[in-house]
Amino acid sequence: MEIFLTLLLVLGVIHLVQAQNEQGFINLDCGLPASEPSPYRQTETGLEFYSDAKFIQSGEIATIQSQTNLRNILKPYTTLRYFPQGTRNCYNLLIEKGRKYLIKAWFRYGNYDGHDIKPKFGLYLGPNLWTTVDMNLVNNSTNEEILHVPTSDSLQVCLVKNGATTPFISSLELRPLGNHSYITQLGSLKLISRRYYTTSDDNIRYPGDAYDRQWFPRSLSWLTHISTTRDVSNGGIYNLPKAVRQNAAMPTNASAPLTIEWTPENPNDQFYVYLHFAEIQDLQANETREFDVFLDGNTFADLVTPKKFEITTIESHYPRTCEGEKCSLQLTRTQRSTLPPLLNAYEIYRVIQFMQPETIETEVVALKNVQDTYKLIRINWQGDPCVPQHLMWDGLACSNTTISRPPRVTSLNLSSIGLTGTIAAAIQNLTQLETLDLSNNKLTGEVPEFLGNIKPLLLINLSGNDLNGSIPQSLQSKGIELLLHGNPRLCQTKSCTKPQSKDFPVVIVATVASVIILIAVLGLVFLLVLRKKNQYTTMQAQQLPPSMPAAMVNIANANSHEPLNEIKRRMFTYSEVIKMTNNFQNNLGKGGFGMVYHGFVNSSRQVAVKVLSQFSSQGYKEFKAEVDLLLRVHHTNLVTLVGYCYEEDHLALIYEFLPNGDLKQHLTGKGGRPIMNWSIRLRIALEAALGLEYLHIGCTPPMVHRDVKTANILLDENFKAKLADFGLSRSFQGGIQSHDSTAVAGTLGYLDPEYNQSGRLGEKSDVYSFGIVLLEMITNQPVINQTSENSHITKWVSSKLICGNIIEIMDPTLRKDYDSNSAWRAVELAMSCANPSYSKRPSMSQVINELKECIMCENSRLSNNQGLESQAIRIGLDSSVVPKAR
């Protein structure tokens, strides 16, 4: 099988190499019929185009209708591939990691389906939205260009259905560029405009442009166009076409500026601009050409003097924004210049920041190998396996991700899909796997040893197969939950446990065993003496229980207000954890750092048990941080720690059980959850804010939660809100502090942008996250929506605020049942919390006061006891600023 997979990989590389011409270009004619030759040479450009069939596993092909004027259309754009099945369909291309590419996607509808309904869909690079293709906004065809540096050796160009219409593509083209050109501080560059000044009507492509950039002619009545037949040196790294170098324009009115204008799609759009010019006139001794460049009145470049018959390029060194509804770039001659400004060509690009990191490449390869091993055909197993979350592959669960932390596969469920053969070796490369379910298939062979090497594994379900042999000792000795019933040929007793080694001579074994026993006895005596001494010292100095693990001693001393006997009482053994969860029978889901199970303490008190990944150093740090915090803080709006388990490799946290789940489930309606009215949402927001305020000013030292989000706000049986998941929390001494030694942590979308960029942490980092939570509660919109141009919820709300209609912003499921003043105040509060500037955000105490005002506005609207309970009203009118500890 490995030889077969290697052969497939080699063939895939051969196909890609064959699709590249001598310049390294990749030219795919999408939908080229099998009856037509591939490759073929396109007459106008001289480029070889290949069929796309070997680079995508889905889609159907079609040809644009004949009534379209085919004579003016290049051959690669007369056919197309469309995707009636699946939500995401992706091309997979092997490229050079870290190399800058010009990527072009062409779309010509041509009424290929006879429906004359122009589609709208998303175009993605990997997990990130590149742009939205809307054929209703163009005549009949369009193309998209982007300059992009891939972060892995494969590039996935995906078409994503976001409505009722069907995505399609006519051609996909990649051109490698020099890495010293088009340099940006951050992000990729989406082409807005690329023009050269000429009276000709000729578009320039390859071979005129060595990189196959497409230059459109620009001719304006108020400009004087000049040209030369002399050779104009390239003079730089941009390798401009000859026709671009030999043509230029200048204002006919020598005193007038040369102006370029464009309109941003969004007010916060950032741009890179490239101006190319050369002096192509023979100047007299008394003639001078010198000019300044301004963008919206601000200096872009000053004292520019074009070089004689040599191209110079002025470029943005950092992204620029425009101040008005239009961007205005002006070349203005200086006072001592006798000639007007001159320009050969310009390029304008918009910055596209791809915030979502891709799944670790080794895990993507592992999943592809699993797919090949079992010949799985799944329409949605295309693109990135984990992200974006709404397009995650079937049968997977992945870890939460931040900008600096890529997603990892934590669960693989291939149950009941008819798998045959042995357990795929590629699974061992999913090194962060916590649950593996291969049950109810037709798998044969032995249970492999490598499963025991996947350290985070907590649950393996192999039941209902035809496995044989014995169980590796590594799986029996690590506390992994194994489900093996329904394998009649599999020996599950210890008497037939697969030995670690065999066939050693008896004499050697006996000798080695004797030496080991002797060393063990001596070591045991030494450890007993040392332990007794340490116990005596510890009890004398600290009077701590001698059975308490060393790590818990440190936690107990970390400013805990708990008596030591109470800390001891909260410790549970691993056998007690197994008993309280009924051997981990009732799985509540996956928390931030482990599986969560329902259980009972003393057969009566309901608890939620989070089992930590005992082999992860990061998991241990977060475990210690959470125990440390919850042992010393007590507040009615913080989740209560019932106890913990720290026994050898077993780490677990036992919390109070909150039966109404988390806030995110209720907003999304997951699991048939009822829709919460506006009053309840405001009360939940207030209670979460009170919990945060206590962390910020009621704790000593103050704490920052660092992972405030709707999934971490839990609800009890009365819908009372409690903050949970304190594993990322950090203490600070007030104000804003640098934590250079601590990696930036949080959840994508909720993460404070200033903290993410600088690493400086303060309580207003939580305020930003709370603002995002409040926007979710107000709008019921996703925090990040990759299918929208306004991908972040703050941008979406900002776009709606322009209209001034609160109904456009509020969750439609509320059915307008809210006080408009209360709603407006909540929106304004949320946006002030989510201000990109740390200093401009309110404190949590200010947030609480404003939420109380929102509640009072809403209560004044309600009558006949339809508002909040009187107790909640009293909470809303409480003048206390600092919440009291419970």
User: Partners of 294 in the beta sheet?
Assistant: 299, 330
Residue 776's identity, in one-letter code, is: E
Tell me what pLDDT residue 559 has: 41
Phi, psi values for residue 221, rounded to 5°:
-65, -30
Higher pLDDT, 590 or 363: 363
The H or E element containing residue 385 is none
Predicted local confidence at residue 748, as pLDDT = 87
Beta-bridged to residue 641, according to DSSP, are 655
Span 562-656: which CATH code? 3.30.200.20
Q: Are 54 and 60 in contact (CB under 8 A)?
A: no
Q: Specify the higher pLDDT residue, 871 or 212.
A: 212
pLDDT value for 522 = 58
Listing DSSP states for 828-845 in one string gives HHHHHHT-SSGGGSPPHH
pLDDT reading at 161 higher than 60: yes
Rounded distance between C-alpha atoms, residue 767 and residue 706, angstroms: 10
Angle (deg, nearest 10), helices 820-833 and 793-801 = 130
Average pLDDT value for residue range 436-448: 96
Give the highest mean pLDDT range of 353-367, 555-569, 659-673, 743-757: 353-367
Residue 49, amino acid:
F
pLDDT at 369 over 60: yes
Residue 794: which H helix or E strand, with range? helix 793-801
Give the pLDDT confidence score for residue 538 in this predicted structure.
41
CATH fold of the domain at 663-877: Transferase(Phosphotransferase); domain 1 (1.10.510)
Query: Which regions of 188-246 does DSSP assign to beta strands (E)?
Result: 188-197, 216-218, 223-227
In this predicted structure, what is the pLDDT of residue 718? 86
Task: Work out the angle between the directed axes of helices 820-833 and 844-861 (0-180°, nearest 10).
Answer: 170
Region at 182 (left for phi over 0; alpha for psi -120 to 50; beta for the rest) = left
**Measured distance CA(560)–CA(487) in Å, rounded:** 50
The 3 state secondary structure assigned to 600-661 is EECCCEEEEEEEECCCCHHHHHHHHHHHHHHHHCCCCCECCEEEEEEECCEEEEEEECCCCC
Residue-wise pLDDT tens digits, 195-221:
999 999 999 999 999 999 999 999 999
Distances (CA, A) of 66 to 78, 112, 139, 410, 776: 10, 9, 17, 51, 49
How far, in Å, CA of 360 to CA of 231, rounded? 50
DSSP-derived pairing of the beta strands 26-29 and 48-51: parallel
Is 587 a residue whose pLDDT tops 50? yes
Domain 11-179 has CATH 3.40.1830.10: no
Tell me the average pLDDT across 678-693.
Answer: 95
What's the N-to-C CA distance of the chain in angstroms?
A: 63
What mean pLDDT is predicted for residues 593-607? Answer: 85
pLDDT digits (tens, 9 = 90+) for 767-801: 999 999 999 999 999 999 877 778 899 999 998 88
Can you give the pLDDT at residue 885?
33
Say what the pLDDT of residue 541 is: 36
* DSSP line for 678-697: HHHHHHHHHHHHHHHHIIII
> What's the CA dihedral at 682, 688, 694, 695 to 10 degrees?
-150
Sign of the CA dihedral with 60 first, then 61, 67, and 72 last: positive
Q: How many CB atoms lie within 10 A of CB 36?
A: 11
Q: What is the structure's pLDDT at 1?
A: 40
pLDDT value of position 771: 97
- Residue 557: is its pLDDT beyond 50? no
Q: Which among 797, 806, 857, 864 is positioned nearest to 832, based on CA atoms?
A: 797
Place of tokens 């291969």: 438
Per-residue CA distances from 675 to 104, 680, 802, 820 (Å): 44, 10, 28, 19
361-496: CATH topology:
3.80.10
pLDDT score for 727 = 63
Find how far residue 164's CA is from the centre of its chain: 26
Domain 189-352 belongs to what topology?
Answer: Jelly Rolls (2.60.120)
Hey, what amino acid is at 406?
Answer: P
Which token pair is 418? 């008819």
Q: Which residue has the tokens 């010293």?
A: 180
Pairwise pLDDT comparison (6 vs 413), residue with the higher score: 413
What pLDDT sits at residue 753?
Answer: 86
Secondary structure element (H or E) that encloses residue 376, with its range: none
For the chain, what's the residue count? 886
pLDDT score, position 652: 86
Q: How many angstroms separate the CA atoms of 7 and 9, rounded?
A: 5
Beta-carbon-side half-sphere exposure of residue 25 (alpha carbons within 13 Å): 21
Mean pLDDT of 735-750: 63
Residue 497 contacts residue 484 (beta carbons within 8 Å): no
Cβ contact 384:176 at 8 Å: no
Q: Where are the alpha helices (DSSP H) in 451-544?
A: 473-476, 506-541
Angle 844-861/678-693 helices, nearest 10 degrees?
A: 160
* pTM over cut 0.75: no
- Beta-bridge mates of residue 653: 610, 644
**Model confidence band, residue 857 (pLDDT cutoffs 50, 70, 90):** confident
Q: What is the mean pLDDT of residues 69-96?
A: 87
The mean per-residue pLDDT over the stretch 244-263 comes to 97
The crossing angle, in degrees rounded to 10, of helices 361-373 and 2-18 is: 110
Any idea which of 318-327, 393-402, 548-557, 645-654 has the lowest mean pLDDT? 548-557
User: Position of tokens 């709006």?
Assistant: 637
Find out whether 834 and 771 touch, Cβ atoms under 8 Å: yes
Residue 57 contacts residue 12 (beta carbons within 8 Å): no
- Is 533 or 428 the better-scoring residue by pLDDT? 428
* Three state DSSP letters for 404-473: CCCCCEEEEECCCCCCEECCCHHHHHCCCCCEEECCCCEECCECCHHHHHCCCCCEEECCCCCCEEECEH
Pick 595 or 551 by higher pLDDT. 595
pLDDT value of position 480: 86
Instruction: Let me know: does 225 contact 302? Beta carbons within 8 Å.
Output: no
pLDDT of residue 641: 84
Would you call 540 helix, strand, or coil by DSSP? helix
Average pLDDT of the chain is: 83
Identify how many contiguous H helices and E strands the chain contains and give both numbers. 18, 45
pLDDT at residue 874 in the model? 38
CA dihedral 175, 176, 182, 185 (to 10 degrees): 120
The answer to whether residues 803 and 811 touch, using CB atoms and an 8 Å cutoff, is no
Q: What is the pLDDT of residue 533?
A: 44
Which residues, listed in sequence order, are joined to residue 713 by a DSSP beta bridge? Answer: 723
**Higher-scoring residue by pLDDT: 82, 611:** 82
Mean pLDDT of the 7-28 span: 58
Tell me, what's the pLDDT at 149? 94
SS3 of 135, please? helix
Highest mean pLDDT among 335-344, 570-579, 590-599: 335-344
Strand pairing partners for 93? 155
Q: Which residues pair with 349 in a beta bridge?
A: 191, 272
- Read off the DSSP letter of residue 518: H
Selected catalytic residue, list 292, 384, 707, 725: 707
Q: Are 256 and 289 in contact (CB under 8 A)?
A: no
Kindly list the domain boundaries of the chain, sorted by start residue.
Answer: 11-179, 189-352, 361-496, 562-656, 663-877
Is residue 761 packed enough to be buried (19+ CB in 10 Å), middle (13-18) or exposed (0-12)?
buried
Q: Which residue has the higher pLDDT, 171 or 267?
A: 171
Structure tokens at 88: 């995401």
Least confident of 176-185, 609-618, 720-729, 871-880: 871-880
Residue 495, SS3 per DSSP:
helix
Band (pLDDT 50/70/90 cuts) for residue 170 is very high
Cα separation, 642 vs 754, whole angstroms: 36
Interval 831-836 mean pLDDT: 93
Strands 26-29 and 171-176: antiparallel
Q: Give every CB contact of residue 116 below 8 A, 6+ residues apart in sequence.
A: none
Report which of residues 24 and 341 the model is more confident about: 341
* Structure confidence at residue 744 (pLDDT): 67
Residue 610, annotated ligand binder? yes
Q: Is 5 exposed, middle or buried (0-12, 13-18, 19+ CB in 10 A)?
A: middle
11-179 against 189-352: fold identical:
yes
Specify the pLDDT at position 531.
Answer: 53
- 707 catalytic residue (yes or no): yes
Listed in sequence order, the residues at least 6 apart from 360 whose beta carbon sits closer than 8 Å to its beta carbon are 406, 407, 408
**Backbone phi, psi, residue 443, to 5°:** -70, 140
526 — pLDDT class (breaks 50, 70, 90):
low
d(CA 131, CA 121): 9
Burial class (CB in 10 A: 0-12, 13-18, 19+), 840: exposed
